[in-house]
A and B are shown apart, each in its own frame.
Chain A
Amino acid sequence: DAGVIQSPRHEVTEMGQEVTLRCKPISGHNSLFWYRQTMMRGLELLIYFNNNVPIDDSGMPEDRFSAKMPNASFSTLKIQPSEPRDSAVYFCASSLTDRGYTFGSGTRLTVV
């Protein structure tokens, strides 16, 4: 089992550029979650999907953020345009219903 795979591991971009983060969940897991982690706010849920359908996107900070899950094995989180305050570590996690999450290793995003 390869676990949850995120790419890239690190991303440095200039303010105003589009950023796309990618996630491959564990095969057979039916839920996928995007979290953001900062020192000030800790781990915050941005959005989650169940069976590829977005269930709760109330944590998405603003319209600059969007997420898709076109199939059970792939999801993206896009920020357009990016801003310095978006700098954080973004985690993807997957789970089977009512079980604990398995997190990926995260993408460290720096917007300069």
Chain B
Amino acid sequence: EDQVTQSPEALRLQEGESSSLNCSYTVSGLRGLFWYRQDPGKGPEFLFTLYSAGEEKEKERLKATLTKKESFLHITAPKPEDSATYLCAVQALKGAQKLVFGQGTRLTINP
């Protein structure tokens, strides 16, 4: 069974304090790994897709990396507006377009 585990569950940082969120996964053949951001009361918002080990993608203060067992979301010099829950999901080669999500990391950036 495909599984995704995210850590930590919650993270509180000061503005400008860089850190990383972890997503460990087990999947029977990875088609893609997805990162989403979710603000309270809203649906998840797509950030990145990574397809193969060694791949990296960046968007503003966020950079996502991928290995064969885990992915990291690096946040550099975060701002209060980066506060949100960050969700990781995997899509297996089998199972068509189904995404299996982790529980998320709730990130709070204090000014």
Instruction: Give residues in A with beta carbon < 8 Å to B.
Output: 4, 31, 33, 42-43, 45, 48, 50, 55-56, 91, 93, 95, 97-106
| CB-based A-B contact count at 8 angstroms | 51
Interface hub of A50, A95, A101, A102 (most chain B Cβ within 10 A) = A101
- Chain B residue numbers with a CB within 8 Å of A97 are 97
Q: Is the CB of B101 within 8 A of A100?
A: no
- Chain B residue numbers with a CB within 8 Å of A104 are 43
Q: Is the CB of B97 within 8 A of A105?
A: no
Q: Is the CB of A103 within 8 A of B43?
A: yes
Binds A, one of B19-27, B44-52, B58-66, B71-79: B44-52
Distance between Cα atoms of A102 and B34 in the complex (Å): 12
7 contacts between A and B (CB under 8 A): A4-B43, A48-B97, A50-B97, A91-B43, A97-B97, A105-B41, A105-B43
Q: Is the CB of A42 within 8 A of B104?
A: yes
Given the known A-B contacts A100-B34, A100-B49, are A45 and B99 also in contact in the complex, defined by CB atoms under 8 Å?
Answer: yes
Q: Is the CB of A100 within 8 A of B97?
A: no
> In the complex, what residue of chain B is closest to A56 when comparing beta carbons?
B98
Given the known A-B contacts A93-B43, A100-B34, A100-B46, are A42 and B96 also in contact in the complex, defined by CB atoms under 8 Å?
Answer: no
- Chain B residue numbers with a CB within 8 Å of A33 are 97, 99
Given the known A-B contacts A42-B104, A48-B98, A50-B97, are A106 and B34 also in contact in the complex, defined by CB atoms under 8 Å?
Answer: no
Distance between Cα atoms of A95 and B99 in the complex (Å): 12
B69 at the interface (CB under 8 A from A): no
